[in-house]
Every structure is written in structure tokens, then in C-alpha cells.
Amino acid sequence: MRVILVVLCLLGAQSAIAQNVVHCSPAQDVIVRAALDHAKSLAITAASAVGDTPDYARWFGTYSDRNAETARATLKSVVRAIRAGGVSLQCDTLRDQGCGNDEYAWVYADKPYHIYLCPSFFDMPVLASLRPGTRASDNGTREGTLIHELSHFRSAGGTEDHCYTRRDCMGMALQEPDLAIENADSYQYFTEDVIYYASQPVIGKASP
């Protein structure tokens, strides 16, 4: 009986963290679930890396305890959302609302945690597959994109899209840190940098 109870508990724990993936092909389903799992690990590491560092300054500007706590809380909220198993990911087409030629994913910020994935999402690189010197991740990664979208939800970070692209968002961090701390791309690039870019050259970043 004890063995049966243990098995039931384990099954219950697995179902509690199951995510909902809809309108995706079997191959896309595998990609999406892997990306979300990697996004969780990425956000955990990034939350612990928030501090008075060059990585923080590049994406959030001049360090302050208040803004650092906001960044840390937002990343922790992303982790909690994934761990709770309430994330729903839907594969969309270019004809669907929100999926234009330049979009990778989109959300309704007041409807957590449903993320619409555009066809171009599946063309994005996976962080672990990148190699030093490549510029393939200049527009982000699958994992980073999911963190970007999750941070938009009001119950997570409630972030906005004040800027896109690494160059524009680095400029915002220098000039307007209070906008950078509420910008979704800033969180995406920060989380990608503390993992991948820490060991290779990046424009505007000193070598480790």
C-alpha cells in the first residue's frame, strides 16, 4: 500500500506541473515543452544573478536596490508561473491576430498564462545550441522569448514593449533605467546574457 501511495503522489506531482499545448503538431509540441522547461531554468539562474554587475547595467541601467528588487521579483514570478503548470501555449498562423511577419509570439496581458506562438518562433535558435562568435541569437532565443512573453502578464511582471532589439534596449538602459526595468526585451536579453553571453564577446560588453 505504501508503494502505491508513493506512486500516486509522484503522478500527482507530475500532473500538477503539466502545461497545456494546443493547435501544435506533435513535433512542435516537443519543441514548445522543451523551450518552456529551459526557460524556467534560465529564469531561475537570472533571478539569482541580479545585482550591481555589468550584465545588469547593460539591460537595466544604473543599479538601484528598488529596481533590482523589481527585476528579481519579475523573474521569480515567471518561474512560479511555469512551476504551477498553468502556462498554456497555442500555435498560431500568420493569419491569426497578433502574428505578423515580424512577431515571434504574443499575449493578452490580462489573460494569464496563455501564450500564442507564431510560425517564426520555431525558426529561432535554442540557447544551448549556439556557439561562441555566432550572431544567430541577436533576435533572441526560444527560451528568452517565452520569458519575454510571461513577463508581460499583469500577475507576473506586467512589463511593456518600450523597445525592441539589443541596440535600442541598451540605449534605453543608459538613458531611461526606469523604463528599462519594465521592458520585456530587457528581461529577455538579461537572462540570455547571464547564461550564454557570459563566455563570449558581445558588442558593448567587456570580455570575462
CA-closest candidate to residue 108, choices 122, 97, 118, 123: 97
- Looking only at the bridges linking them, the beta strands covering 20-22 and 88-91 are parallel
pTM score of the predicted model: 0.84
The neighbour count for residue 85, using CB atoms within 10 Å, is 15
Considering the chain, what is the average pLDDT of its residues?
A: 84
State the pLDDT at residue 196.
65
CA-closest candidate to residue 116, choices 102, 131, 103, 130: 103
State pLDDT tens for residues 36-47: 999 999 999 999
State the pLDDT at residue 3.
36
Which domains, from first to last, does the chain contain?
Answer: 24-127+137-199 (3.40.390.10)
The C-alpha R_g of the chain, in whole angstroms, comes to 17
State the pLDDT at residue 97.
72
- Looking only at the bridges linking them, the beta strands covering 105-107 and 20-22 are unpaired
pLDDT at residue 7 tops 50: no
pLDDT at residue 90 tops 90: yes
Higher-confidence residue of 34 and 128: namely 34
Q: 4-8, 99-103, 171-175: which range is least confident on average?
A: 4-8
Q: Which helix (H) or strand (E) holds 115?
A: strand 114-117
Q: What is the mean pLDDT of residues 77-82?
A: 96
CA-closest candidate to residue 123, choices 106, 97, 108, 105: 105
Please tell me the distance from the alpha carbon of residue 35 to that of residue 37, in angstroms, as a whole number: 5
Q: What is the mean pLDDT of residues 135-141?
A: 72
State the pLDDT at residue 5.
34
Which grid coordinates belong to 46? 537570472
